[in-house]
Amino acid sequence: MNFSGGHILSISQFERADIETVFRVADMMQPYAHRQRVTHVLDGAILGNMFFEPSTRTRVSFGCAFNLLGGHVRETTGFEQSAIAKGESLFDTARVLSGYSDVIAMRHPEPGSVSEFAAASRVPVINGGDGSNEHPTQALLDLYTIQKEMTGRGRGLDQLRIAMIGDLKYGRTVHSLCKLLMLFRGLSVSLISPRELAMPPDIVEELRSVGHQVRESDQLEESITAVDIAYSTRIQEERFGSQEEADMYRGRFRLNQSIYTSYCEPNTVIMHPLPRDSREHARELDDDLNDNPNLAIFRQTDNGVLVRMALFALVLDVADRVDESARDVNWYTGSRF
Ligand code: NCD
């Protein structure tokens, strides 16, 4: 894949070598993301960060990643703050905003909308989530995290055993993650959801067609006894017709310390794209896991900055020049990483 000047819309664009490229550049970003060094390689460049659905970490980490490379960020959030509320088309919005930005990151509730926008954009567009369809940068940061966690346990990605739990029908992060896992061989994938919220059949079929062992279940406990990764997800309430409908599924699968201790192998890595729903009636990933060293959720969010920095550097073709303008930081940074 040619990153330079290209869009990042779907995980299907990536081959294994491309993943290795992204992860190699992400590793190089560590001193900058970890506030040891400062670079100005994107000095003067502008990111148009357009988020038409709620977002905390994806929106802010795209912005921080761009800032950490020395670039500037212009943000649009919510339809009501944009001329889309006056009936402007995605085509016109894309033509206009691509005149103001060097790269655009976009989230939108309609599946396919970010690709439609990209087709009219004059600059590269990165998909920050298009409805229930895809969330490619999340899948990349998830796999980057999985690789680090497994390496720390003396293992690689081969023969990985992963469980995905929750709303697998509407969860775009698990759709993209499954597509990414199709690039690897010999995996065991356990899909745990209410029957009505099962993984789309075409994705299950594709996982099987590349030789992965796939098991679908609506029972949490028996399905997490022999996995390396337990990846929990939130019921995607915004995709349901009503809150009452979402309520039927919330709280159905609760991973907490007691279930973990009783059923998981020691050292099973716990992941979640976040936000987790911490309200009493949901709690798919309980706060009582917060002190569990295998809880990788905040390592995922930290890794998101590295991966998004890597994508910007590759798309804007500066990956080899990041160190050129670099210096040490001159403020107190503490030891948070
Ligand atoms: C996810 C999303 O927006 O798809 N969040 C994120 O970007 N980390 C998951 C979710 O909202 O449940």
- Enumerate the domain spans of the chain: 11-134+304-328, 136-298
Query: Do 11-134+304-328 and 136-298 fold alike per CATH?
Result: yes
Distance from the alpha carbon of residue 100 to the mean position of ligand 1, in angstroms: 27
pLDDT tens digit sequence for 215-257: 999 999 999 999 999 999 999 999 999 999 999 999 999 999 9
Is 56 known to be catalytic? no
Residue 21 burial class via C-beta count within 10 angstroms: exposed 0-12, middle 13-18, buried 19 and up: middle
Q: Give me the torsion for CA of 177, 182, 188, 190, rounded to 10°.
A: 40
Helix (H, G, I), strand (E, B) or coil at 25: helix
Catalytic residue among 7, 59, 108, 135: 135
Say if residue 133's pLDDT is above 90: yes
Helix (H, G, I), strand (E, B) or coil at 53: coil
Task: Kindly give, in sequence order, each residue whose CB lies less than 8 Å from that of residue 30, ignoring residues fewer than 6 positions away.
Answer: 306
Distances (CA, A) of 138 to 102, 177, 264, 272: 22, 8, 25, 11
* Site to substitute for ligand 1 among 274, 278, 299, 303, most atoms within 8 A of C-beta: 274
Whole-number pLDDT of residue 79: 85
Say if residue 336's pLDDT is above 90: no
Of residues 76 and 146, more confidently modeled:
146
How many CB atoms within 10 Å of residue 233? 27
Q: Which of 19-28, 75-84, 214-223, 283-292 has the lowest mean pLDDT?
A: 75-84
Whole-number pLDDT of residue 84: 84
Distance from the alpha carbon of residue 321 to the mean position of ligand 1, in angstroms: 32
> For the chain, give me the number of helices (H) and strands (E)?
11, 11
* Site to substitute for ligand 1 among 141, 145, 169, 173, most atoms within 8 A of C-beta: 173
- Report yes or no: 54 and 82 within 8 Å, Cβ to Cβ: no
Say if residue 189's pLDDT is above 90: yes
Distance from the alpha carbon of residue 261 to the mean position of ligand 1, in angstroms: 27
136-298 carries CATH number 3.40.50.720: no
Say if residue 83's pLDDT is above 90: no
Whole-number pLDDT of residue 81: 82
Residue 189 tokens read as 């994938």
Whole-number pLDDT of residue 325: 83
Say if residue 304's pLDDT is above 90: yes
Q: Which atom of ligand 1 is nearest to the CA of 57?
A: 8
Average pLDDT value over all residues in the chain: 96
Write out the H or E segment, with its range, that includes residue 130.
strand 125-130
Which strands form 103-108's sheet, in the order they lie side by side? Answer: 72-77, 46-51, 103-108, 125-130
How many CB atoms within 10 Å of residue 331? 6
What is 11-134+304-328's CATH number?
3.40.50.1370
Say if residue 82's pLDDT is above 90: no
**C-alpha 138: how far from its chain's center?**
1
Task: Kindly give, in sequence order, each residue whose CB lies less than 8 Å from that of residue 302, ignoring residues fewer than 6 positions away.
Answer: 33, 337
pLDDT, mean of residues 16-39: 98
Query: From the CB of 172, is ligand 1 less than 6 Å away?
Result: yes
Write out the H or E segment, with its range, that includes residue 145.
helix 136-152
Say if residue 96's pLDDT is above 90: yes
pLDDT, mean of residues 180-190: 96
Share of the chain above pLDDT 90, in %: 94
pLDDT, mean of residues 297-314: 98
